Amino acid sequence: MSDPQPKQPITRHSPSRGPGSPDVWGIYEPDTGSVQYVCADPATRKAALIDVVWNLDPCSARLSTDSMDQVLDLVRRNGLTVEWVLDTHPHADHVMASALLKRRTGAVTAIGEKVVEIARLWADLYHLPQAFDPARDFDRLFADGETFRIGDLDVRVMLSPGHTLGSITFVCGDAAFVHDTLMQPDAGTSRADFPGGSAEDLWQSIHEILSLPGDTRLFVGHDYGTDTRAEPRWEATVAEQRATNRHVRDGTLREDWIRLRKQRDARLPLPDRMLAALQINLRGGRLPPPEADGHSYLRIPVNRF
């Protein structure tokens, strides 16, 4: 019996629509269904990298930089300069490449300020009371409503809790990076059952995102295909989401969606990388300090989930 063919990464370019509109590239990471983004100012060629993956084999606990290397190769081929390394939240399904990217590019790393609360929650779950210090491990902790620039483009931070209590959305001109809130219209919405998550909060966050102008390009954090669509997708406009999202199209009742979300979440398994990934991600993409033998080790809570 022959070995299965490896799944291949896919890259797509969503071009700038004119002044104030960024170029966006999505680079699909097939093992976790994650989408990594490059958001660039066409005028200055300055860029931000968003939610880039440090690949982890959950069977061997071996890390590799294949996905990060693909992103940096795209940056080089397009003559971009990386100013920011951004994460929308401490991911449960993949390891963030932020610390490695900072070493490679010298760019500023950033995440939402409520990661401090997430770190306290998981320090208790891992029984590692002194392990996590986001203020030490990220250069910037963004508050809701804070702004910054990618080149000459203004970016606004929106607090978008629900999937986690500290998830944030980045709105750059006519592009918004909405992470694990919405999925593609034919797939619906994201789960809200991790520690600190809330379906009620996620409903509110989704509708704040859907209040953006109708032509805003929404870039989601994941796609797994559907029963009728194998090819991954990750871009749809606000208008398309409002008209056709299978979970939250216009006219959907809050109570109906919350009931559906909780029923679906109760049947979902934990991501296979979650308990490893969060120990690294809450350190800004750094491994635990090496022990006496020179190796790092991860702690796995038993019977906590």
The 10s digit of each residue's pLDDT in 167-182 is: 999 999 999 999 999 9
* Statement: residue 244 has pLDDT above 80: yes
Q: Average pLDDT, stretch 150-166?
A: 98
Q: Cβ(238)–Cβ(23) under 8 Å?
A: no
Per-residue buried b or exposed e for 67-79, using 16+ beta carbons within 10 Å of the residue's own CB: bbebbbebbeeee
Q: Average pLDDT, stretch 78-82?
A: 98
Report the 3 state secondary structure along the chain.
CCCCCCCCCEEEEECCCCCCCCEEEEEEECCCCEEEEEEECCCCCEEEEECCEEEEECCCCEEECHHHHHHHHHHHHCCCEEEEEECCCCCCCCEECHHHHHHHHCCEEEEECCHHHHHHHHHHHHCCCCCCCHHHHCCEEECCCCEEEECCEEEEEEECCCCCCCCEEEEECCEEEEECCECCCCCCECCCCCCCCCHHHHHHHHHHHCCCCCCCEEEECECCCCCCCCCCCCEEEHHHHHHHCCCCCCCCCHHHHHHHHHHHHCCCCCCCCHHHHHHHHCCCCCCCCCCCCCCCCCCCCCCCC
Instruction: Give the up-direction half-sphere exposure of residue 106: CA atoms within 13 A in the CB hemisphere.
Output: 1
Helix axes 115-126, 274-281, angle to 10 degrees: 130
Q: Which CATH architecture has domain 10-276?
A: 4-Layer Sandwich (3.60)
Arithmetic mean of pLDDT over the chain: 96
Q: Average pLDDT, stretch 235-243?
A: 98
* Statement: residue 5 has pLDDT above 90: no
Task: Write the pLDDT tens digit of every residue in 177-219.
Answer: 999 999 999 999 999 999 999 999 999 999 999 999 999 999 9
pLDDT band of residue 1 (cuts 50, 70, 90) is very low
Task: Write the pLDDT tens digit of every residue in 277-294.
Answer: 999 999 999 999 999 999
pLDDT band of residue 7 (cuts 50, 70, 90) is low
- Dihedral (C-alpha) 232, 238, 242, 246: value to the nearest 10 degrees? 10
Least Cα distance to 276 among 126, 171, 145, 81 occurs for: 126
Residue 177, CA distances (Å) to 5, 37, 180 in order: 31, 9, 9
pLDDT band of residue 302 (cuts 50, 70, 90) is very high
Q: Which two tokens stand for residue 208?
A: 């704040």
Please state the domain extents for the chain. 10-276
Q: Which two tokens stand for residue 44?
A: 């200055």
pLDDT band of residue 2 (cuts 50, 70, 90) is very low
Q: Which two tokens stand for residue 295?
A: 């190796």
Least Cα distance to 284 among 68, 135, 144, 124 occurs for: 135
Q: Which two tokens stand for residue 217?
A: 């390009």
Q: Average pLDDT, stretch 232-237?
A: 97
CA 37 – CA 48 distance, rounded (Å): 8
